Amino acid sequence: MSAKRQQLMQALRGALPSANLLWQKEDTAPYECDGLAAYRTLPLAVALPENEAQVQAVLKVCNEFGVPVVPRGAGTGLSGGAMPMQEGIVLSTAKMNQILNIDPLSRRATLQPGVRNLAISDAAAPYGLYYAPDPSSQIACSIGGNVAENSGGVHCLKYGLTVNNVIQVRAVLMDGEVVEFGTEALDAPGLDLLAVMIGSEGMLAVVTEVTVRLVPRPPVARVIMASFDDMTKAGNAVADVIAAGLIPAGLEMMDKAATRAVEEFVHAGYDLDAEAILLCESDGTEEEVTEEIERMSAVLRQSGAIRIQVSQSEAERMVFWSGRKNAFPAAGRISPDYYCMDGTIPKKAIATLLNQIKEMEDRYGLRCMNVFHAGDGNMHPLILFDGSDEDQWHRAENFGNEILEACVALGGTITGEHGVGIEKINTMCVQFDEKERDAFFGVKAAFDPAKLLNPDKAIPTLHRCAEYGRMHVHRGQLPHADLPRF
């Protein structure tokens, strides 16, 4: 151990209880990656603060030594946003898991960042309230990570993403200064930087406290399972539902490959003969739900649905949703590895992208299951491959890159809720030009001038974009042909 590292570890020991600092290989190995397990790096050490004061102390030490810090929540992220740096520290907020306050009158909850997403709704349930954003990983993912990635979920079409449901965030800058974003009042003086913080992927500050908005649990909720014999019809049906002025509580789509894999795993009662199914949920009073179910059913039939089944009980509704929420583990059951994409497109382009993905499957020689938040166009193609085969891994990576580039070409974006991290940093070059990326770096520098918080994530450099343009040429079109190649 070098003298500088010895001094760093000694300083960190002074900032934390001895059990809250890990540096032996066997202790740091569980932190070598997040949900994007294809990329792994052992960190120098892992800090596990239990309160805001300890977060401040750790950041001050690392700032003094010029050591990078990678904030980490529950580690369920899928874009490599929490992947460590070899000469850096992982700062995990897992021990900061207290629900500080639930106010049923103002319908708010204040939480430490390590509180699990689902635990918020469990704690609010006695008051008839719940927290609306519900990622598929909600049983494990933490609210701090949700803030970092601006997480979504199956009910975000009606109730919004994390950014629409967080009122205030308290966080610590790299130099140890405590800052607050947002306010519990209706408005606050100065710039509104809350939306800048949400989705910043741990690059600006470390979250220590979050205040979220709670909503009343609807008295009635039912789900339509609509079957289609054609993917194009199913994709167009999504746009038809929204065009009819209907905003379902949830609107999800799965193709035949996905429904078959899920049905074998959870036995949700899905139609295995359909080329695609839509899950459309309505919630509200009995009268509201009855009327909306009738209107949605009529639109779906007109759009080509060959079968419509409506949940007849709360238990059946939960079974329908259990299939969608278990799509990822179902993919892991039928394939050694899978690669989950996260592009977002206009709803009118869903059928177009699905047909393009089908053509890519043939070209890359890999299977792809499609599950996604159809209502807001957030696509989650699951590319199935064998990671032990290097050629398959490269084909899967290129397959994913082409899907993201197709999303941009269709007027969409490369990420809807998983973040950029290291996974999509190259395809950021396709969506944003040099001036836009410089603006991103400007925001980063305003909060973290030393560039020590989660460095080399999310924002690509000019050199990286030039390299990506040189290496990835799709259909003869060179991205950013004006950039010099290295």
Mean pLDDT of 257-271: 93
Domain boundary assignment for the chain: 3-92, 99-216, 220-328, 428-471
Task: Give the single-character DSSP code of 279.
Answer: E
What is the distance between the terminal CA atoms of the chain, rounded to a whole angstrom?
A: 36
Looking at residue 442, its pLDDT comes to: 97
**251 DSSP β-pair partners:** 280
Please name which of 442, 409, 444 lies closest in space to residue 427, comparing C-alpha atoms.
Answer: 409
Tell me the pLDDT tens digit for each residue of 328-369. 889 989 999 999 999 999 988 998 999 999 999 999 999 999
As a whole number of angstroms, the distance between CA 288 and CA 421 comes to: 41
As a whole number of angstroms, the distance between CA 249 and CA 293 comes to: 11
Please name which of 448, 440, 442 lies closest in space to residue 465, comparing C-alpha atoms.
Answer: 440
475 confidence band (pLDDT: 50, 70, 90): very low
Looking at residue 476, its pLDDT comes to: 42
Task: Give the single-character DSSP code of 189.
Answer: S
Instruction: Look at residue 329 and give its three-state secondary structure.
Output: helix
Q: 99-216 adopts what CATH topology?
A: 3.30.465
Flag whether the pTM goes above 0.95: no
As a whole number of angstroms, the distance between CA 196 and CA 443 comes to: 9
477 confidence band (pLDDT: 50, 70, 90): low
* Residue 288 exposed, middle or buried by CB count within 10 Å (0-12, 13-18, 19+): middle
As a whole number of angstroms, the distance between CA 221 and CA 359 comes to: 38
pLDDT at 478 over 50: no
Looking at residue 482, its pLDDT comes to: 54
As a whole number of angstroms, the distance between CA 21 and CA 13 comes to: 7
Asked if 341 contacts 353 with a C-beta cutoff of 8 angstroms, the reply is: no
Name the residue with tokens 């629409």: 164
Residue 248 corresponds to which tokens in the numbers above?
A: 């379902």
Looking at residue 218, its pLDDT comes to: 96
Looking at residue 468, its pLDDT comes to: 86
The CATH number of the structural domain formed by 3-92 is 3.30.43.10
pLDDT above 90 as % of the chain: 87
Instruction: Look at residue 55 and give its three-state secondary structure.
Output: helix
Looking at residue 1, its pLDDT comes to: 63
Instruction: Look at residue 138 and give its three-state secondary structure.
Output: coil
Q: Which of 223-227, 228-232, 467-471 has the lowest mean pLDDT?
A: 467-471
443 confidence band (pLDDT: 50, 70, 90): very high
pLDDT at 189 over 90: no
435 confidence band (pLDDT: 50, 70, 90): very high
More confident residue, 233 or 474: 233
2 confidence band (pLDDT: 50, 70, 90): confident
As a whole number of angstroms, the distance between CA 130 and CA 119 comes to: 10
Mean pLDDT of 376-390: 93
Q: Taking phi first (over 0 means left), then psi (-120 to 50 degrees means alpha), and beta for anything else, what does residue 269 get?
A: left
pLDDT at 456 over 80: yes
Tell me the pLDDT tens digit for each residue of 27-74. 999 999 999 988 999 999 999 999 999 999 999 999 999 999 999 999
pLDDT, averaged across the chain: 93
The CATH number of the structural domain formed by 220-328 is 3.30.70.3450
Radius of gyration of the chain measured on its C-alpha atoms: 23
Tell me the pLDDT tens digit for each residue of 104-162. 999 999 999 999 999 999 999 999 999 999 998 999 999 999 999 999 998 999 999 99
Q: What's the length of the chain? A: 486
Who contacts 322 (Cβ-Cβ below 8 Å, separation ≥6)?
Answer: 266, 268
pLDDT at 474 over 60: no
Asked if 379 contacts 344 with a C-beta cutoff of 8 angstroms, the reply is: yes
Looking at residue 12, its pLDDT comes to: 97
Asked if 254 contacts 324 with a C-beta cutoff of 8 angstroms, the reply is: yes
Task: Give the single-character DSSP code of 218.
Answer: P
As a whole number of angstroms, the distance between CA 172 and CA 156 comes to: 28
Amino acid identity, position 62? C
